[in-house]
C-alpha cells in the first residue's frame, strides 16, 4: 500500500503548487561598484585543490572574504545613522557604541522578514523607457501615480521596493557610473521618505547605491531620507537591489523574504532578498 504525503500548512501547500522566485540580490564580485565610505569586497582562496591532498586522493579548497557590511545588496540597521547624537528612539549614539558594537539597534536585532512586498516601478508608471534620469527626485506624487497605475496599494508593515531603473548601471565597466558622484542618482527625497513613513511600512529598498536621491556632485554629504526612515521612523533600508527582472514580470505584489546575517552589534549586513510569486 502506498501513502500520499499531506500537509495542513497552507503556505507549504502554496509552494507545492508552484512559485516563481525572483532573486533581488546582486552577485558579490571583486571590484563591483560600491560607496567609497565602506571597505570593499574581497575574496581569495587561501587553500586551493592540490595544496593539501589526503591519502585517499581527496582535496578541499576554502575561502577568505573581507568586506564592509554596506557593500553590495545589503540592509541598514537602525544603528547605522544618528541625528544630533541620537539613534532611533532617543538612544544616545555614542553610549550605544561603547565596546565597539551596538547591542541596541544592531543588525542582529532585525528579525527575519516574510512579509508582503510591493514593487513600485516608477519609470514604467511615468513612461520613462530609459529609467529615471540621473539625480531625479522621486516625489510623493510620483509614488501616488505609480500606485494608481499599477493598482497596487501600500499598507502598514509592507516592504516597499522602489525601482528607478538606475540598477542598469550596476554592472557598468566603470563602477563610478553606478555611484553617480558627478551625475547624481535618482531616488526619493525627504518628502518621499515621509510619504513612506506615514504609511508605517516595515522596510524600504531601491535599486540604487544609497536608496535616496543624490544630487549631482553632492555625494553622501546629506541623506535626509535616511534620517527620516532610520532615525525618526525605525524603518529599515535595503540598497543595491536588482529589481529589473521582477519588474519585467510585472510582479508588483509578492511574498518578500529576507534574513540578515546575525552580526552582533553591526550596523548592516549583506543580504540576498527574494520575491516569491505564485505561478500562474
Reported as a single tens digit per residue, the pLDDT across 182-198 is: 999 999 999 999 999 99
Q: Are 68 and 40 in contact (CB under 8 A)?
A: yes
- Residue 56 CB neighbour total at 10 angstroms: 6
Summarize pLDDT for 230-239 with one digit per residue, the tens: 999 999 999 9
CATH at 96: 3.50.30.50
Task: Give domain status of residue 49, yes or no.
Answer: no
Task: Give domain status of residue 179, yes or no.
Answer: yes
Q: For residue 214, how far is the Cα from the chain centroid?
A: 17
Is pLDDT of 217 > 90?
Answer: no
Task: Give domain status of residue 270, yes or no.
Answer: yes
pLDDT of residue 5: 62
Task: Give domain status of residue 4, yes or no.
Answer: no
| Distance from C-alpha of 73 to C-alpha of 105, rounded to nearest angstrom | 20
pLDDT of residue 44: 97
Is pLDDT of 122 > 90?
Answer: yes
Is pLDDT of 261 > 80?
Answer: yes
Range with the lowest mean pLDDT among 118-122, 169-173, 214-218, 264-268? 214-218
pTM for this prediction:
0.94
Residue scoring higher pLDDT (16 or 219)? 16
Task: With CA atoms as reference, report the closest residue to 68 among 202, 184, 209.
Answer: 209
pLDDT of residue 86: 98
| Distance from C-alpha of 184 to C-alpha of 163, rounded to nearest angstrom | 16
| Distance from C-alpha of 208 to C-alpha of 183, rounded to nearest angstrom | 13
pLDDT of residue 2: 54
Is pLDDT of 140 > 90?
Answer: yes
Task: Give domain status of residue 221, yes or no.
Answer: yes
User: In 136-255, which residue ranges form alpha helices assigned H by DSSP?
Assistant: 140-150, 175-179, 190-198, 224-226, 244-248
Domain that holds residue 212: 11-44+63-278
Residue scoring higher pLDDT (221 or 109)? 109
| Residue 64 burial (C-beta neighbours within 10 Å; 0-12, 13-18, 19+) | exposed
| Distance from C-alpha of 265 to C-alpha of 106, rounded to nearest angstrom | 4
Task: Give domain status of residue 240, yes or no.
Answer: yes
Task: Give domain status of residue 56, yes or no.
Answer: no
Query: For the residues 36-46, what does the mean pLDDT come to?
Result: 95
pLDDT of residue 154: 97
The pLDDT-based confidence of 219 (bands split at 50, 70, 90) is confident
How many separate domains does the chain show?
A: 1
- CA angle 231–235–237, rounded 5-degree value: 100
Q: Are 8 and 34 in contact (CB under 8 A)?
A: no
Share of the chain above pLDDT 90, in %: 90
| SS3 at position 190 | helix
The pLDDT-based confidence of 4 (bands split at 50, 70, 90) is low
Query: For the residues 41-61, what does the mean pLDDT come to?
Result: 96
pLDDT of residue 3: 52
| SS3 at position 131 | coil
Amino acid at each position: 500500500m502506498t501513502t500520499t504525503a499531506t500537509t495542513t500548512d497552507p503556505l507549504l501547500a502554496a509552494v507545492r503548487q508552484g512559485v516563481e522566485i525572483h532573486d533581488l540580490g546582486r552577485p558579490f564580485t571583486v571590484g563591483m561598484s560600491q560607496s567609497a565610505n565602506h571597505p570593499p569586497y574581497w575574496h581569495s582562496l587561501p587553500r586551493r585543490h592540490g595544496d593539501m591532498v589526503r591519502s585517499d586522493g581527496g582535496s578541499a579548497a576554502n575561502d577568505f572574504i573581507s568586506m564592509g557590511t554596506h557593500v553590495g545588496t545589503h540592509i541598514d540597521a537602525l544603528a547605522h545613522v544618528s541625528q544630533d547624537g541620537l539613534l532611533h528612539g532617543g538612544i544616545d549614539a555614542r553610549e550605544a557604541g561603547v565596546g565597539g558594537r551596538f547591542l541596541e539597534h544592531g543588525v542582529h536585532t532585525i528579525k527575519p522578514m516574510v512579509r508582503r512586498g510591493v514593487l513600485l516601478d516608477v519609470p514604467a508608471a511615468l513612461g520613462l523607457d530609459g529609467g529615471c534620469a540621473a539625480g531625479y527626485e522621486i516625489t510623493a506624487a510620483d509614488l501616488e501615480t505609480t500606485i494608481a497605475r499599477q493598482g497596487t496599494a501600500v499598507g502598514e508593515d509592507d516592504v516597499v521596493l522602489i525601482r528607478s531603473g538606475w540598477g542598469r548601471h550596476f554592472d557598468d565597466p566603470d563602477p563610478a557610473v553606478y555611484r553617480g558622484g558627478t551625475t547624481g542618482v535618482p531616488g526619493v527625497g525627504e518628502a518621499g521618505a515621509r510619504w513612506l513613513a506615514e504609511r508605517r511600512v516595515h522596510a524600504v529598498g531601491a535599486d540604487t547605491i544609497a536608496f535616496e536621491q543624490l544630487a549631482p556632485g553632492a555625494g553622501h554629504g546629506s541623506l535626509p531620507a535616511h534620517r527620516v526612515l532610520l532615525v525618526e521612523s525605525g524603518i529599515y533600508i535595503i540598497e543595491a537591489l536588482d529589481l529589473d527582472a521582477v519588474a519585467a514580470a510585472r510582479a508588483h505584489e509578492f511574498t518578500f523574504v529576507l534574513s540578515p546575517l546575525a552580526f552582533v552589534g553591526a550596523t548592516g549586513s549583506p543580504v540576498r532578498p527574494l520575491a516569491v510569486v505564485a505561478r500562474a
